Amino acid sequence: MNKLIKLTKQIYSSDIIGYVMIFAAGTLWGTIGLFVKLLSGVGANSTLTAFMRLFMGFLILVPVLFFMGGIKMFEIDKSGLIQCLLLGVLSQALFNYCYNVSIGVVGVATASILLYAAPVFVCIMSKFIFQEQIGMLKIFSLVLNIIGCFLMVTGGNLSYLKLSVIGIIFGLASAFLYSLVTIIGKIASGSVHPFTIVFYSFLFGWLTLGIFTSPWESIAGVSSFKFWIYSIGYGLIPTVGSYLFYMKGLSKNLETSRVPVIASVETVVATLIGVVLFSEKLNFINVLGIIFLLSSIAMMNMKFKEKGKEAEIPK
């Protein structure tokens, strides 16, 4: 029994649990499309949907933080507050704006594929900020991940793709802003409780969206029992739940460049939800994309013993 307890503590304190948390966060993020469709079905537009996600997530976190540690959970220093401000404004509010513009110009498929450039941005920034190594296996995993996402989104049908300079610029901008969640979150998690980071990033995010999009009239126009139930679910599952797992995982001893590839499991979950709940078709190319994406996640975590030390394959 003592050996089991000791082993459990070792696993929890190691990077294994961190990567499991990132995987769990990606799984919960995979339900975003479900809630977007549900809210769209009751009349909410994309701007209102983005606002409600952060606003409801913020409200849900208030009692959660009080239950966890009381008023102390809301304490944050100036440096941490600035980092949360950057997360909220850049990686929450501005990201949603750029992504929605990209979707409006080039469509969902192209915008989604451009968003999957985020792991590349994270890998490059991790090299310079955290001095992480970029081995051949890591590069191959990134390429495999992008190909997998491309195949899953398009199903091999290139007619879904639309090209536009403005759409591509906003799509890549959304990918860069999305990648900052991992970079800034990793930096902030060293001095601030992960749950406190999430709380303040949501606060700054919904305030920014509220100031620039004025969603209040839209809420009045679509307010109904279903709207609020869906909004609560949206704020709870792919927002509070996913970000708590993600930030807690980042606080572990993880290689930052691996994180977004593991979190990309959200694409697989989103695809399967579409098949099961909305009777969307899944062809051979889609399945191949799933295999590629899951393979890239597995390869990102491959290690081997070399001269008594654990190393990535290959350097």
Q: What is the mean pLDDT of residues 134-150?
A: 90
Q: CA 125, CA 177: separation in Å to the nearest integer?
A: 12
Q: Give the model's pLDDT for residue 3.
A: 54
Give per-residue pLDDT as tens, 66-78.
999 899 999 998 9
Is pLDDT of 304 > 70?
A: no
Q: What is the mean pLDDT of residues 223-233?
A: 96
Q: Give the model's pLDDT for residue 303.
A: 56
Q: CA 120, CA 176: separation in Å to the nearest integer?
A: 9
Cα distances (angstroms) measured from residue 195 to each of 83, 138, 189, 217: 14, 30, 9, 31
Confidence of residue 12 (pLDDT cuts 50, 70, 90): very low
Give per-residue pLDDT as tens, 153-162.
888 888 778 8
Q: Give the model's pLDDT for residue 306.
A: 37
Give per-residue pLDDT as tens, 34-52.
998 899 899 998 889 999 9
Share of the chain above pLDDT 90, in %: 53
Q: Give the model's pLDDT for residue 300.
A: 82
Could you tell me the pTM of the whole model?
A: 0.86
Position 41, amino acid: G
The helix/strand/coil state of 86 is helix
Share of the chain above pLDDT 70, in %: 91
Q: Give the model's pLDDT for residue 217.
A: 82
Q: What is the mean pLDDT of residues 171-190?
A: 90
Q: What is the mean pLDDT of residues 197-223?
A: 91
